[in-house]
């Protein structure tokens, strides 16, 4: 199915996709973060995608493996004490 529009609705905190047949798919971004993100770096990456690339975010959530994506993309080091 072809995606006609994809945008982040700040009022509902959802990424909304409208398909060519009129179907509306809504992704609750807060629920996704609570389920997948293990730390602030992963939450930050998801937030960046939501605001800047909502279509790519939706593709990762619906068709990919978001946990695997986050583990591959996030690199962080703790400061030495």
**Contact at 8 Å (CB) between 8 and 15?**
yes
Q: Which band of pLDDT confidence, cut at 50, 70 and 90, is reported for residue 79?
A: low
Determine the average pLDDT of the residues in 27-48.
Answer: 92
Counting the structural domains of the chain, the total is 1
Whether residue 80 lies inside any domain: the answer is no
Residue range of the domain that includes 66:
3-73
pLDDT at 54 over 80: yes
Whether residue 79 lies inside any domain: the answer is no
Tens digit of pLDDT for each residue in 14-29? 999 999 999 999 999 9
Q: Which residues pair with 25 in a beta bridge?
A: 17
Say what the pLDDT of residue 77 is.
58
């Amino acid at each position: 199915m072809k995606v006609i529009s994809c945008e982040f609705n700040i009022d509902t905190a959802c990424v909304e996709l409208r398909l060519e047949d009129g179907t509306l798919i809504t992704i609750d971004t807060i629920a996704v973060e609570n389920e997948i993100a293990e730390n602030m770096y992963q939450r930050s990456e998801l937030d960046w995608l939501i605001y800047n690339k909502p279509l790519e975010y939706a593709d990762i959530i619906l068709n990919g493996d978001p946990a695997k994506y986050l583990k591959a993309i996030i690199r962080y080091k703790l400061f030495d004490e």
